[in-house]
Chain A
């Protein structure tokens, strides 16, 4: 494999890792606050549809992004209502949200656009277009660094950079602010937070809301940046890979970045099986690369490589003593 191919692969890795990373950080906020969320997939899908639909109708991708975030936050509100207010089962709520999104997106898309459950192709300003970082063109011919800067670092859509910036931001919010401390505490020992006079309900709703916003950006990225329009079931299990990455990263932001890059790289490899064959000399089943994230997560969960310990109060509704 030559240098140019490697850069292409890494470039694809970054593009494919972005939605995983956004969804993974979304799950991080929610689960750190003690709310399990297996509805990441559904929220991404709903956001992907509504962002593409609004972008197609209005011609503005920014309106689309806003609408996508709105759709995702709405589903988050349902999840919050079920799992915080009514103290229902968070996992069942997540399953319901996944199906709700899978069904509604197609039903509404068919009703609005009558194109077999997809939105029209997005072009021009209805999509996020790649942005060239300063001096990318000028530095292109510098050996080694030039191509890396031009191919790999520059030339992505703005959401890729947003996702990358979200990693330090998430770390800072969770580990350097009062809100973050309380959010983590509410996921470990909500009774202590309550005793301190801080509202458990409010904190958990805030976490679920942030989760909704990030999932919304992830979904909008799928439909308006990675691809040009919504197609049925386009999230294609990414929400669950993000969930896997979250466990792989043991609920920590920087490790989430590494896990998502790894899983993004696996996805990029399964798209370029010809390259893999050239490098290692035999053919690898693309299916195998696709499910490798899940297998790795099971191995991690089995505790063979370190132990993944979730937030202690995760999945349990908080009942204030009366």
Chain B
């Protein structure tokens, strides 16, 4: 029997963890001589106070939904895919090749093609660490870390070599007009008032939402999802039930890599409309924080991604208007990972004790 009711596990613990992270972040802001309350107001205003701010918040959130889902599906199979960064980089390579070398007639087809390409490239990059884990027993965390670095080098190689556009910058040429995705500005333009003017959020956001639903269905409504979850709970029990560990490790990591790779349709095809160096900008790692905070549930990932989208856009506004550098967001991200991931038991143990004593008190009265 569980000690705690489900709502406490799903809502209370993440909330307390976030509160702890927020308090420590406020202390950091205080320590560098700024006012945390003013900073929060500035962040809320900058990220949520206008459709422009929302456009950025949702753009960042789209990235984080993909990488968060990628980490989540791996978590369900008790695999820690720390290589979302590299998989998203390689996914970007796939998007660039597909957008540059195939003459697409219309953006919708280009979106479909690029999404498939990004997924295949991302999945391929996850396949080697997955294979080594499944067949050779080499630790997936170590290999995916190594593959992040190798991915950065591969990308660099192509951007100063085969795919480089004329000019000084290590970047590809601009993608053709037909592959440009409709932005929120194009989609929500009602005559006189233009919403989301100049913001990078685009149709990929809805692809991300669809991915959330699809992954939810996969994990909880299909036989494969059941197998993945059983494998994650107990490898030996899953083996006994006739589930092949090799298959689960490979499939979970391929889906994970594909999701991380698909982030590239947002940032490469949707926003930059060309491939540049370091296009992912750490979103692969934020996926870890997002997945931990969202408890590896697609809906939780969505909420956590929105929160991090807000933090990212708000942090950019902070850096613009105060002396607080953008790196503060990395600190907050680290604290969220620390409290919701590594120090989970620190919050959980006292809470469990509390619930236990509450239940005892209640039972005592009824007896």
Contacts and interface: CB of A to CB of B under 8 A. Distances in A.
A1 B143 CA distance: 35
B345 A86 contact: yes
Contacts of A106: 325, 327, 330
B145 A38 contact: yes
Contacts of A290: 149, 153
Interface stretch (B37-45, B87-95, B131-139): B131-139
Interface string B119-146: 0000000001000100010110111011
A220 interface: no
Contacts of A298: 128, 132, 138, 143, 146-147, 150
B28 to A, nearest CB: 7
Interface residues of B, number: 47
Nearest to A314: B139
Contacts, number: 148
Nearest to A100: B334
A86 B285 contact: no
Nearest to A315: B139
B138 A243 contact: no
Contact of B132 (A91, A110, A301): A301
B337 A92 contact: yes
Nearest to A36: B141
A81 B339 CA distance: 12
B345 A87 contact: yes
Give the most central of B136, B138, B327: most A CB within 10 Å.
B327
B338 interface: yes
Q: Contact size class for A?
A: 35 or more
A42 to B, nearest CB: 9
A89 B341 contact: yes
B33 A111 contact: yes
A108 B341 CA distance: 25
Interface string B304-327: 000000000000000000011101
A99 B287 CA distance: 13
Contact of B141 (A91, A104, A117, A244): A91
B149 A237 contact: yes
B321 to A, nearest CB: 15
Given A103-B329, A294-B149, A301 B139 contact: yes
A31 B152 CA distance: 27
B342 interface: yes
B11 to A, nearest CB: 20
Contact of A303 (B138, B145, B345): B138
A93 B341 contact: yes
Contacts of B150: 291, 294-295, 298
B63 interface: no
A97 B334 contact: yes
Nearest to A244: B146
A249 B342 CA distance: 28
B288 interface: yes
Contacts of B157: 285, 287-288
A240 B145 contact: yes
Contacts of A52: none
Contacts of A284: none
A96 B334 contact: yes
Contacts of A303: 136, 138
A292 B28 CA distance: 38
A103 B344 CA distance: 22
A88 interface: yes
Given A244-B146, A291-B149, A107 B327 contact: yes
Contact of A99 (B128, B145, B146, B330): B330
A297 B341 CA distance: 27
A104 B331 contact: yes
Contacts of A89: 80, 341-342
B325 A110 contact: yes
A308 interface: yes
B15 interface: no
14 contacts: A81-B343, A82-B346, A86-B346, A92-B80, A92-B337, A102-B330, A103-B334, A106-B327, A110-B323, A111-B33, A291-B150, A298-B132, A301-B139, A308-B138
Q: What are the 3 closest A-B residue pairs judged by CB atoms, nearest first?
A: A103-B330, A99-B334, A93-B342
Given A81-B343, A106-B327, A287-B153, 5 more contacts: A89-B80, A91-B82, A96-B338, A240-B145, A294-B147
